[in-house]
Structure 1
Amino acid sequence: MVSGFRRSVSLPGSNPSSSPARRRCEKPHHLRSASLPCRSHPAISHLLDQIRSFSDFGIRCSPASGLDRIDRLLSALDDILRLPQAQDPLRRGPAWADRLLDGFLRLADAHGSFRSAVVALEQHNAEARAAIRRRDPVRLDSAARSHRRAEKELIRLATAVKDLARCPPLICSDAAEAEVAGIVAEAMAATAATSAAVFLGIAAASSAVAGSMSKGSWTAWPSRRPSKKGSEEAEMAAMEKLEECMEGLEEGSGRVYRSSVNIRVALLNILTPSL
């Protein structure tokens, strides 16, 4: 997954070298009187906690847990965007606005498509189970092809958001603007990296189901010989693992979709006067 993910946000008291946006936009002797509240502000502390939690997201965490973390992060970001100290700097220079607005739109689209893919995978698994019960190799082969198509779609979705995780520096007019815009960009990057990891995790589980069906060699299926029974058990185990991975994903992806849309709307509302 994303166990190697390490990102930080540019906040008061942080190391100046930790944020490319600040290095490009902050002058050496600039006073940060218009900056965000101190780190002890509840909204800032909560957002920092959410950002830090992403560094622990790894292979042992379930995809549903990843979506829950994303939703909490976006909720914390929404709280930040309600602060006047955050809104005022954003209104001064929207040169980078299109990039963030496009990023959250892409995240919303990806999670909307992911939710549809999860629903489809549940149907494919049901088809495969029915084929095994009825000993129907044609129907099982069709289910295997559906799983392979789902795997490719999930990989495509992961690829579509991966570049958002790189978070290159934003061009800002001053340090206060760079600080707030940097926080939004960091949150978007964390969301994108974890989203890609979740998508790829489900793609791998879907691939395992398709692979177990191929190895089963059900085309002959003349009798329930022990080898066939073993293949059937392997297929059922792969499907059960996929179902376990998908538990809660339909609801979780729906929440992340709505949260991404809400963040984009909040940014639009802040930036509209200067666009």
Structure 2
Amino acid sequence: MNQFILFIELTRLKKPIGYMLLFWPCAWGLTLIYDFSQNLNNYLFYLLLFFLGSVLMRSAGCIINDILDRKFDSQVSRTKNRPIASKKISVSRGLIYAAFLCGLAFLVLINFNYFTILAALASMPLAFTYPLMKRYTYWPQLFLGITFNYGLILGWTSITESINIIPIIFYLGAIFWTLGYDTIYGYQDIKDDEIIGLKSTSIKFKGTAKTFLIICYSILISLLVIGGYLMDFNFLYFLFLIIPAAQLFLFQIKCFDLNNTSTCLKIFKSNNYLGLIIFINILIGKIF
């Protein structure tokens, strides 16, 4: 039982924000391309597959992240008690768990077409090298955005086995979304990160954080508008974009305080609701 509890802690399964932020872009991409005049069974089935894949890959990613960062995690107050950093779980056991989760994720993946399978496998090097980026660049959040939102492309290709400019525009918007919310998240550890020499956009833009967030979220909303125009969405889609824009600018940016770690965490977690709001927005654009 103790090992099971440690496994849950290691994979962050009790913290759904991680896998939900991985899932929402998948749902966006699938919804953008799906023909809702057809039977909904395939749509719901693929939505379930993407959810399961998000949970499994996020869990495996957490383990790899903790293995690569174990020496740094042990020096950061928020992460020093993680199972691998505190040596409650060995590196070898962690690798076994990660391999098992990746195996389950592959069983989910093979339900898709060959194009999507190959595209997903091609993203694996990015997914497992992301934790190394904060050692070398102030832009690890950019690499996270590229990796974390890749599911939007997979959601699109799962139906059409091809790609065009539309999913790329939404994908770029999602990358700037991640740049924003993960910069906010990074302010929880900024003091420790500066001491041990890690890099992030949180550190790079410490003096101009709100300006950086305004730029990121403005680009996100702009690309959602452009993408909606290219999709020939109805007026309601553009009208209801006011809701995510308000959440971003009137809540996230207005309430943001880089010196208040609890507020930063609260704002970061609110992005789960933002992902849902944009998902509903895309549904409105497609159906009505």
Normalized against structure 2, the TM-score is what? 0.30
Asked which structure has the greater RCO (Cα within 8 Å, sep 6+), the reply is: 1
Q: Which has the larger radius of gyration?
A: 1
